[in-house]
Structure 1
Amino acid sequence: MKIEANEHNIDGLVKVYNEMKRFEIEPNEVSFCILATAHAVARLYTVAEAYVEAVEKSCSGDNWSTLDVLIILYGHLGKEKELERTWGIVQELPHVRSKSYMLAIEAFGKIGQLSRAEELWEMEINGCKANSITFRHLALGCLKANLVEEALKTLEMGKDLKTSNRVKNSTPWLETTLSIIELFAEKGDVVNVEKLFEELVKAKYARHTFVFNILIKAYVKAKIYSPNLLRRMILGGARPDAETYSLVKLAEQFRP
């Protein structure tokens, strides 16, 4: 299941899950965490919510990894009450990891609780060393405030820190990077979109149609015609949808 999830192959993941049930292998909280996260990342929120309920029912004790996943998912689904409750459980653990703080900061930011996110940020920086994901979050905040130069400087600062492939393939890293790409795309900043998009390609995250559509949107906003975008999309494993063809049609008007 984890292999299919890492490949961002929802169909393959569901097939493995159905095979488990066919062979009467009982799914556990780890299985449901993988299913819920994969569907949330693919923006299939209704299905993700059903699997979140399964995680809650199968959760055994205060497993920090499951709690981290729930924090991510509640942020995706906009469940403020559940997010606060889960974060409260995490804070009662003997040791709260830096990663848990960063996930909570991102989750509260996603649901619009910026003051809560800032409060946790202050707590985190007073006790933990900033990592590469920290700089991604900061860059995203700068872009949201329309501080483009500061955002670019922050991204450069983050590049100086060693980042493992595991981190670069993680949901927080990919989604924060995608949020940054979306903001650059809105500005028609094709150069920076392409730089960051390459990370998503390497992580196979660009197989999601909505991810590739953001790249095409950047070219439309920049009024630049690129004849190979649709071909790149298909060869990269993403399936064009109605939005894709609408964007491609818009891009046609910028043909030299």
Structure 2
Amino acid sequence: MLEPLPSLFKTSISNFSLRRLLIMWTLRRASLRLRNQGFNAGASRASTVNFVPTMCVENEVAIQYHQVTCGGFLSSSASYDAGHAYLKYAFSSQAGASSTREDNDDLEDSLSELDTHETDNESEADLPDSDEYDSGKPHDELGLSDPEIDPPEKLEGRKVRSELFQAILKAPGFSVHSALDKWVKEGKTLNRSDISMALANLRRRNMYSRALQVFEWLESNKKLEFVEKDYASRLDLIAKLHGLYKAEKYIERVPNSFRGELLYRTLLANCASQGNLKKTEETFNKMKDLGLPVTAFACNQLLLMFKKVDKKRIADVLLLMEKENVKPSSFTYKILIDAKGHSNDIAGMEQVVETMNAEGVEPDIKVKAALVRHYISAGHKEKAETVLKEIEGENLKENLWVCSTLMSLYANMGSTEEVERIWKACKSKPRMSDCLAAVEAWGKLNKIEEAEAISEMMSKKWKLSSKHYAVLLKIYVNNKMLKKAKELIKRMADSGCRIGPLTWDALVRLYLQEGKLEKADSVMQNALENKRMKPLFTTYMAILEQYAKKGDVHNSEKVFQRMRQAGYSSRISQFEVLLQAYINAKLPAYGIKERMKADSLFPNKAVAGQLVLVDPFRKTQYSELLD
């Protein structure tokens, strides 16, 4: 049933932000569509534009829009049942699962609400004792921390000291059980407070393997009476280390009384952070079927997925939130701001900010940083500078915690003077995060000597891990300073640094720059022997792209399979590169469409064009004559 647009505002104030966002999102998309199509049809054409919530059904051939006439909108009451039915249908049909390589870039994952990593970078995440690296939030935002034991104000920016954690940290990688056995044998206390604090510190350093071993020991020795939070925390670690399939199997072992909203939203968040659209949709529907509440957190995971793979479906989630009376969180607005920014829709981005302000939601530093990045990308330097001044505040010395963010953003803008000014303000007593940000900022500005000087200062102040050296190493690789990069890797080895995914990535890129593809591939082979860590997605892609350029289908397929074996869910960008290998080899790709469908992926425009070229049954001008 249709209702006039003004009647939408006859709702409670609590729904105003969603109404405004939903209408704004739809109108902005319609206006952009008009702008792209041009106005040569005159005013009469503009008068028949359909403003709709963009619920669409997609397949390989076409996109069918369910539209409403101009001046009308879906009714919140009468029309929602159809909308909700569509939403569930769309989830089950994997509609619109196409994406671009930019959407699948690891940079996208940095916007995840969990801020999680796809690898157990234990060997590259051990921070020195004096480190003040900001942490704890991923665990807190999942709702897995104990506010009385590990409150956010302790976890953010300050080290939580724990004797039990130190004992676990000193144990060799796979000897956590022995360390805990020794702890108990010595008669030391092992209460929930000790355990929670130790786990919080392990998570801060991304030492997920050790954290999982702690849970395994606690269960086998019956040293802790598990509650839903403990099961959810263990599920989170399994998903990070062993993938979504093992995480789902673990849920089957959890007692029914503890299979609640916290457990499933933990699984949902990991599905989204790992970029698995199918599993994200299935898990969300499972939560609905179980009667679990629809929360802003759960809806944010959907928004994160659709921001990456199909921005047209964002309006569907906003409509769902409106029906379920779910109030947008600060992170909801952040996702919408980023979606508009990546689409270069600056006016739309600013409208989201206006709605945010109207609802009294104060933009935090992450939201403001996102605004700055998009302003810079769109060439709005003055607007970027205005927001940067807001981040800095009136007195930088009273807000030194923002220095790392400011240096990174000013470097993106190309402002050497501002980076130097911010660094001077904090270099007398810098945090580790400030130093790393400064090294990276100078690297962006091609001030290699300045970056080297700070890195040298860090090595004298702290015992550095390979994670910290990797920042400078990346600068060398990006600037093709091969000799210096090799010298730094040797220095890392001499200082006892353990090699992990970041260093593997640098080594691979070094060899690729030298044209030594086979040598780069051998680095990957050796890396795969390390069962605790897996190479980065981008490392695999770098090698896959080189084999594809050579038209080496055999090795391209091998790398493709290795990525699957390592636990990376298939992405459209992988198939795009793989198809290019077949094209360059001038070979047909049998069954490639079926493989994509099996992974719930549908071709975008670029991939659809490639599929035509590798279709083994494609008719040509000459084959038609022979027929």
Same fold (TM over 0.5): yes
Q: Give TM-score scaled by structure 2 length.
A: 0.31
Q: Give TM-score scaled by structure 1 length.
A: 0.65
Aligned to 1:114: 482
Which 10-residue stretch deviates more, 65-74 or 112-121? 65-74
Task: Tell whether 2:393 aligns with 1:56.
Answer: no
Equivalent residues of 2:552, 2:585 under 8 A apart: yes
C-alpha distance in 2 between matches for 1:103 and 1:192? 30
Task: Tell whether 2:613 aligns with 1:245.
Answer: no
C-alpha distance in 1 between matches for 2:573 and 2:500? 25
Higher RCO (CA-CA < 8 Å; seq separation 6+): 2
Once the two structures are TM-superposed, the CA of residue 179 in structure 1 deviates from its matched residue by 0.9
1:27 to 364, 372, 396: 364
Once the two structures are TM-superposed, the CA of residue 182 in structure 1 deviates from its matched residue by 0.9
C-alpha distance in 1 between matches for 2:447 and 2:469? 16
1:46 to 377, 394, 418: 377
State percent identity of aligned pairs: 20
Residues 48-84 of structure 1 deviation map (CA, whole Å, 9 limit, x = unaligned): x97xx78633889645457657867987xxx243676
Q: Which has a greater percent of helix? A: 1
C-alpha distance in 2 between matches for 1:184 and 1:130? 29
Q: Secondary structure at the match of 1:81?
A: coil
Equivalent residues of 1:188, 1:218 under 8 A apart: yes
Residues 140-163 of structure 1 deviation map (CA, whole Å, 9 limit, x = unaligned): 433443434433433332222233
Aligned to 1:42: none
C-alpha distance in 1 between matches for 2:512 and 2:616? 29
For the pair shown, the structure with the greater C-alpha radius of gyration is: 2
C-alpha distance in 1 between matches for 2:457 and 2:435? 12
**How do residues 1-256 of structure 1 correspond to structure 2 at under 5 angstroms?**
1=113, 2=115, 3=269, 4=272, 6-7=274-275, 9=304, 11-12=306-307, 17-19=331-333, 22=356, 24-28=361-365, 32=369, 46=377, 56-57=405-406, 62-64=430-432, 79-81=444-446, 85=450, 88-93=453-458, 94-95=461-462, 96-133=464-501, 134-164=503-533, 168=535, 173-198=536-561, 200=563, 202-204=567-569, 206-207=570-571, 209-233=572-596, 236=599, 240-252=603-615
C-alpha distance in 1 between matches for 2:579 and 2:364? 39
C-alpha distance in 2 between matches for 1:19 and 1:234? 33
The 1:154/1:82 distance shift into structure 2, 3 A limit, reads same
The 1:12/1:250 distance shift into structure 2, 3 A limit, reads closer
* Alignment size in residue pairs: 234
Once the two structures are TM-superposed, the CA of residue 87 in structure 1 deviates from its matched residue by 5.7
Equivalent residues of 2:466, 2:492 under 8 A apart: yes
The 1:29/1:184 distance shift into structure 2, 3 A limit, reads same
C-alpha distance in 2 between matches for 1:251 and 1:5? 32
Once the two structures are TM-superposed, the CA of residue 234 in structure 1 deviates from its matched residue by 5.8
User: Which residue identity is paired with 2:581?
Assistant: A
C-alpha distance in 2 between matches for 1:74 and 1:250? 45
The 1:24/1:56 distance shift into structure 2, 3 A limit, reads same
Once the two structures are TM-superposed, the CA of residue 185 in structure 1 deviates from its matched residue by 1.5
The 1:120/1:58 distance shift into structure 2, 3 A limit, reads closer
Equivalent residues of 2:436, 2:471 under 8 A apart: yes
> For structure 1, which runs of at least 5 residues remain unmatched after alignment?
40-44
C-alpha distance in 1 between matches for 2:526 and 2:591? 32
C-alpha distance in 2 between matches for 1:187 and 1:99? 33
RMSD of the TM alignment (CA)?
4.5
Equivalent residues of 1:138, 1:154 under 8 A apart: yes
Equivalent residues of 1:234, 1:240 under 8 A apart: no
Q: Secondary structure at the match of 1:203?
A: coil
The 1:70/1:11 distance shift into structure 2, 3 A limit, reads farther
The 1:104/1:5 distance shift into structure 2, 3 A limit, reads farther
Residues 5-49 of structure 1 deviation map (CA, whole Å, 9 limit, x = unaligned): 54384644897744357362543359959x97xx9xxxxx937x9
Once the two structures are TM-superposed, the CA of residue 198 in structure 1 deviates from its matched residue by 4.1
Equivalent residues of 1:212, 1:238 under 8 A apart: no
